[in-house]
């Protein structure tokens, strides 16, 4: 069996509501990210890309019509390449990485791109035409994400103050990462149709404590979660270039990381935020590793309460988690986030010169997904 490796990984800056990135088409945005992969890796011929798998949580409207193939055409990949859109909600583009990885390991393809995108401004969460099943509604399957996090906050006895502290730390780490150039090799500039160039994330900012304290609960009248402790609605894209170890060695491509294990699990959808705990246990088991072997963790911060719950109940070492900040500061463009945290993980592992790292996230509908990366 062949091994799947990561040659390169990039992401766009993540744009916020009323920000400068609102207005770019999600397909154009993704095509720019993929083209930047080719620009950075001149020794790779686009015709070697056999498949493009693109994660997207609400693939309709501008994200519809099998966007992956459209993006492939826009990015100048020859028509001989395939394209698929994968939807696993928040885990969509981590699943895209898993799919490309599996295809390579199975020998179906030699080289492919896993990407993710979400424009939460042009396609509303829930889609344009929601049509809910009454019985599933009865079972709370369509429960709001904020409410699921409130349930975890209550179960884990996580106070509003703890959450606010966690969120502020996320912003501080992200700001510092920008300051120290830790996003330099990760984020590529986006051209807004010739009007301007966007180079930086719009989310991270110096916390305004007074404002944070003054916010009303966002989901429950007497709840603990506010806008400041929820990941913001945003737009962004990310892409991971992968191939088999043989191909990389044959063509003398430097390997930034390789896939050690993949996993998905299901959990109670009313507590979907728990997902990373069993998913990570499962992945570790598959890799024959324990948490002690792991140097760094990228945990998608859907909500501060959810992140704290996972770290505490998984007995994870908080000092290993999200060293460059997380989605609370950067934003969580649903379909983009999976390949985004894998991209960030690759960079963090290089910065820390670590051998083993984990990227994991919770998924609305009650799932968890984890990827374990290794470095040679």
Partner 1 sequence: MPKKIKKVAVLGAGVMGAQIAGHLGNAGIPSYLFDINKELAEKGKNSLSILKPAPLYQPQNIDMVTSCTYDDDLEKIAEADWVLEAVVERLDIKELIYQKLLPHLKPETILTSNTSGIPLNDLTASLPEDVKQRFMITHFFNPPRYMQLLELVRGKETTDETYNTIVEFGENILGKGIVHAKDTPNFIGNRIGVYGMMTAMNLAIEQGLTVEEVDKLTGPISGRPKSATFRTADVVGLDILKNVSMTTYEKAIEDEERDIFKIPDILNKLIDSDRLGQKTRAGFYKKNEDRSIHSVDLKTGEYAPMDLVRFDCFRIAKDRQRLSDKMKALCFADDRGSKYFWELTARTLIYSANRIPEISNDIVNIDNAMKWGFAWEAGPFEGWDALGVRRTTKRMIAEGKKVPKWVLEMLESGRETFYSVENGQRTYWCPSGKHPVKIKQNPKEFNLLLHKTAGHTIKRDLSASVNDMGDGILNVEFHSILQPRLNPIDSSYVEMVNHALDLIDEGKYKALVLGHQGPNFSAGANLNLFLDLTHNQQWEALDFAVNTFQKMTQRIRFSKGPVIAAPFQLTLGGGTEIIQPAAHRVVAAETYMGFVEVGVGLIPGGGGTLRMILNALDSGTGRMGAFQKIQKTFETIGFAKVATSADEAKHLGLLKKDDTIILNRDHLLQVAKNKALEHAETYEPPQYREDLKLPGAGGRTAMVMALKGFKKQGKISEHDMKIGEKLAYVLTGGDKAGLTKTVDEQYILDIERETFVSLAGEKLTQDRIKYMLKKGKPLRN
Q: Using CB under 8 A as the criterion, which residues of the chain lie in contact with partner 1 when the complex forms?
A: 61, 126, 128-134, 137, 142, 144, 147, 217-222
Contact 182, 324 (CB under 8 A): yes
| CB 285, min distance to partner 1, A | 37
| CB 121, min distance to partner 1, A | 14
| CB 220, min distance to partner 1, A | 5
362 annotated active-site: yes
| CB 217, min distance to partner 1, A | 7
Q: Identify the CA nearest to 233 among candidates 216, 218, 248.
A: 218
| CB 75, min distance to partner 1, A | 26
Nearer to partner 1, 96 or 225 (CB): 225
Q: Which of 90, 171, 243, 336 is catalytic?
A: 90
Contact 30, 239 (CB under 8 A): yes
243 annotated active-site: no
| CB 132, min distance to partner 1, A | 4
Contact 34, 116 (CB under 8 A): no
| CB 194, min distance to partner 1, A | 23
What is the C-alpha to C-alpha distance for residues 241 and 41, in angstroms, rounded to an integer?
10
Residue 160 φ/ψ, nearest 5 degrees: -60, -40
Q: Is 80 exposed, middle or buried (0-12, 13-18, 19+ CB in 10 A)?
A: exposed
Q: Which of 171, 182, 332, 336 is catalytic?
A: 332
In Å, what is the CA distance from 344 to each residue of 43, 148, 177, 291? 23, 26, 11, 19
In Å, what is the CA distance from 282 to each residue of 263, 264, 278, 287, 370? 6, 8, 6, 9, 9
* Residues near 180 by beta carbon (within 8 Å), at least 6 away in sequence: none
Nearer to partner 1, 217 or 266 (CB): 217
Pairing between strand 367-374 and 234-244?
Answer: unpaired
Catalytic residues: 90, 332, 362
């Amino acid at each position: 069996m062949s091994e799947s490796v990561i040659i390169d990984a990039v992401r766009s800056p993540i744009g916020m509501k009323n920000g400068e990135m609102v207005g770019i088409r999600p397909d154009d945005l993704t095509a720019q990210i993929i083209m930047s992969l080719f620009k950075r890796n001149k020794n790779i011929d686009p015709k070697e890309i056999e498949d493009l798998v693109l994660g997207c949580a609400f693939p309709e409207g501008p994200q519809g019509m099998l966007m992956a193939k459209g993006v492939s055409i826009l990015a100048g990949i020859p028509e001989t390449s395939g394209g698929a859109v994968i939807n696993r909600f928040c885990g969509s583009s981590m699943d895209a990485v898993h799919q490309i990885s599996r295809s390579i390991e199975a020998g179906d393809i030699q080289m492919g791109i896993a990407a993710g995108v979400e424009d939460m401004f042009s396609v509303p969460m829930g889609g344009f035409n929601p049509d809910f099943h009454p019985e599933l509604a009865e079972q709370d399957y369509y429960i709001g994400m904020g409410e699921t996090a409130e349930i975890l906050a209550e179960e884990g006895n996580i106070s509003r103050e703890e959450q606010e502290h966690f969120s502020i730390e996320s912003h501080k780490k992200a700001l510092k990462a920008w300051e120290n150039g830790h996003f330099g090799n990760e984020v590529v500039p986006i051209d807004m149709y010739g009007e301007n160039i966007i180079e930086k994330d719009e989310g991270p900012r110096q916390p305004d404590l007074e404002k944070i304290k003054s916010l009303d609960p966002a989901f429950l009248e007497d709840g603990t979660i506010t806008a400041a402790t929820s990941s913001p609605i945003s737009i962004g894209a990310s892409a991971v270039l992968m191939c088999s170890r043989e191909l990389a060695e044959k063509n003398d491509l430097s390997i930034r990381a390789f896939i050690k294990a993949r996993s998905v699990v299901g959990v109670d959808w009313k507590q979907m935020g728990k997902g990373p705990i069993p998913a990570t246990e499962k992945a570790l088991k598959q890799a024959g590793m324990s948490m002690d072997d792991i140097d760094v963790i990228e945990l998608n911060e859907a909500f501060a309460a959810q992140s704290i719950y996972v770290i505490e109940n998984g007995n994870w070492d908080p000092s290993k988690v999200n060293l460059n900040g997380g989605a609370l500061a950067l934003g969580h463009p649903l379909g983009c986030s999976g390949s985004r945290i894998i991209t960030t993980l690759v960079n963090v592992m290089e910065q820390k010169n670590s051998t083993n790292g984990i990227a994991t996230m919770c998924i609305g509908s009650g799932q968890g997904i984890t990827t374990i990366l290794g470095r040679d």
